[in-house]
Amino acid sequence: MDSPTRNSISNTIQELSRKVFDNPSLTISDSMGPNDIPGWTSLTFTQLLTEIETTFNFKFKIFEIIKMQTIGGIVDVTTQHVSQQ
């Protein structure tokens, strides 16, 4: 069962995704990736990472970037960082 922290992080990332992908009604799920969200490009992906780092006050490690192929991957890595704060 997902921890509340992961759920709240996922909700925050959904809000950030709505802003970055310019879609106020976007609803994300863990399995979603570049082919599922219109406007997901290398550029917007980088912008999303920046938004997450700023919001949660941490920096992604370079090796973590290649693990984040989906929204679920992004949420998992973010949750790990937040839990270590």
Q: Which is nearer to another protein, 15 or 53 (CB)?
A: 53
What's the Rg (C-alpha) of the chain? 12
Contacts of 42 (CB under 8 A, 6+ apart): none
Question: Out of 3, 67, 80, 83, which residue is the one contacting another protein (CB under 8 A)?
Answer: 67
Distance CA 60, CA 18 (A): 21
- CA dihedral sign, ordered 7, 8, 9, 15: positive
Measured from the CB of residue 50, what is the shortest distance to another protein in angstroms?
6
Measured from the CB of residue 2, what is the shortest distance to another protein in angstroms?
17
Q: Binding to another protein (CB under 8 A): which residues in 22-61?
A: 31, 33-36, 40-43, 45-47, 49-50
User: For binding to another protein (CB under 8 A), which residues are involved?
Assistant: 31, 33-36, 40-43, 45-47, 49-50, 62-63, 65-70, 72-73
